[in-house]
Amino acid sequence: MQHGHDAHAERAEAVKERMAQIKHKVIVLSGKGGVGKSTVAVNLAMSLALSGKQVGLLDVDLHGPTVPQLLGLGRATPAVLGETLIPIDVGDNLKIMSIGFLLGDREDAVVWRGPMKANMIEQFLSDVDWGELDYLIIDSPPGTGDEPLAVCQAIGKMDGAVIVTTPQETALVNVRRSVRFCALLNLPVLGVIENMAGFVCPHCGEVTHVFSRGGGSSMAEKAGVPFLGSIPLDPAIVEAGDSGRPYVEAYPESVAAREFAQAILPILALDDGNGSGDAGVVDREVVKQEASGATAKAKKAGMRFAVPVTNDVLCLHFGHCEQFVLVDVDTATQEVTGMQSLTPPEHQPGLLPVWLSEQGIDFVIAGGMGGQAKQLLQQRGVEVLTGAPALEPETLVRQYLAGDLQTGENTCDH
């Protein structure tokens, strides 16, 4: 046991020494897969490199490392000096390292539990010699699970996160989940990039907005974070990825390349003296639970609570209440900005979580709630607090925001 503790301490010290040579560390996150996060990470890193900065791009997606393929490095093997890994140079200013380089047969499935992932990532970070860099861009796997948490814990001080999303309104819940994850780690959100925002005609170059225009900026505003830009879906992006050449390098005058150039401005501004965030030391399981919606207090401008009530006070059973009272709150001032009562649909298993998420609910305060309902709500990014007393909805919300809400056991166990 002591030997394992010593090894962890040695790796932590090695990571600290490696990271001390890098001015700015930025992690790229997404609340779900399929949003083109790795493509965005590659082109952000290349945009920074083209601006004259010394940049490293680190791919820590254990289950789907795509950075090597996007850069034509699918069969590349990094040099090893002793126990040190040397990143692969791509151009004059960009270095690449992917955990995919070390996974043996790259078509095999990786089936690892959380502690194994954390140990692998920590060792990976300690063994890679980046040298001196202006920026390290970290491409994290989708979601708010073990890998991004392990990276943030291992590195400690980071400058912030860039969150990648798509234009649909339904993607807002995934942005909020990522924002809450960052808030729990005291990690600044540098902004949101809206990917696949419109389609670029390959013949005339005109951008057609398949979804409503301005959805990304509206989404960022609702989530209380900066908006960095909209990247249209250009067939040339797919072509560039398949050929292993970064899009912004291959098509520097394109609409999407100009959007990437704008998106990196807040990252370049870090050199103007803005400090790094400090992720600090956190408990792995607590952060995983809170990021998925257990009991964290959201750090954003507005929040909508739902309280199941009967006879004007909290109903002790979530699924059998007369009404839901929706309470809108300005979390900056902790003032209630609006209240309304809604009659729920007839009780059916699994229906209420869907209905509540459609009402834009961020947080449910309940007396008792079954495990399935709680899980369904959390999957939709709705936070849940159970064991609340039978008080009026506004009182419950105010007590929660003030940190004074006293809770007991969940009164429903099915």
Confidence (pLDDT) at 70: 87
Confidence (pLDDT) at 49: 92
Number of domain units in the chain: 2
Q: In angstroms, rounded to a whole number, what is the distance separating the alpha carbons of residues 324 and 197?
A: 36
Report yes or no on 235 lying in a domain. Answer: yes
pLDDT per position as a tens digit, 172-203: 677 888 888 888 888 899 998 888 766 655 55
pLDDT per position as a tens digit, 32-78: 777 888 889 999 999 999 989 999 999 887 766 788 888 888 778 88
261 in the same domain as 125: yes
pLDDT per position as a tens digit, 100-129: 787 665 555 454 554 666 777 787 788 899
Report yes or no on 127 lying in a domain. Answer: yes
On the question of pLDDT at 276 being above 60, the answer is no
Range of weakest confidence among 20-29, 153-162, 326-335, 403-412: 403-412
281 in the same domain as 314: no
Confidence band of 330 (pLDDT split at 50, 70, 90): confident
Strands (E), 282-382: 302-310, 313-314, 323-330, 335-342, 363-365
Strand partners, 165: 194
Confidence band of 296 (pLDDT split at 50, 70, 90): very low
Mean pLDDT across the chain: 79
232 in the same domain as 349: no
Q: Which of 268, 291, 314 finishes a domain?
A: 291
282 in the same domain as 166: yes
CATH number, domain with residue 384: 3.30.420.130
7 in the same domain as 134: yes
Confidence (pLDDT) at 263: 87
Strand partners, 59: 98, 139
On the question of pLDDT at 162 being above 90, the answer is yes
Q: Which of 291, 319, 350 finishes a domain?
A: 291
315 in the same domain as 276: no
Confidence band of 291 (pLDDT split at 50, 70, 90): very low
Report yes or no on 414 lying in a domain. Answer: no
Confidence (pLDDT) at 288: 44
Query: Is residue 140 within a helix (H) or strand (E), and if so which, with residue range?
Result: none
Report yes or no on 75 lying in a domain. Answer: yes
Report yes or no on 297 lying in a domain. Answer: no
Confidence band of 209 (pLDDT split at 50, 70, 90): low
310 in the same domain as 251: no
CATH number, domain with residue 194: 3.40.50.300
308 in the same domain as 285: no
145: left (phi over 0), alpha (psi -120 to 50) or beta: beta
Comparison of pLDDT for 42 and 91, the residue scoring more: 42
Residue range 76-99: mean pLDDT, rounded: 88
Q: What is the CA radius of gyration of the chain?
A: 23
Report yes or no on 413 lying in a domain. Answer: no
Q: Which of 233, 267, 291 finishes a domain?
A: 291
Strands (E), 210-351: 227-233, 277-278, 302-310, 313-314, 323-330, 335-342
Confidence band of 270 (pLDDT split at 50, 70, 90): confident
379 in the same domain as 263: no
Question: Pairing between strand 313-314 and 302-310?
Answer: antiparallel
What does pTM read for this prediction? 0.63
Q: In angstroms, rounded to a whole number, what is the distance separating the alpha carbons of residues 100 and 98?
A: 5
218 in the same domain as 129: yes
Strand partners, 339: 327
Structural domain that includes position 8: 2-291
Q: In angstroms, rounded to a whole number, what is the distance separating the alpha carbons of residues 140 and 66?
A: 11
DSSP conformation class of 384: E
337 in the same domain as 246: no
Confidence band of 397 (pLDDT split at 50, 70, 90): very high
Token couple for 354: 């869907």
Comparison of pLDDT for 400 and 414, the residue scoring more: 400
Report yes or no on 408 lying in a domain. Answer: no
387 in the same domain as 263: no
Confidence (pLDDT) at 273: 57
Report yes or no on 60 lying in a domain. Answer: yes
Residue range 316-321: mean pLDDT, rounded: 85
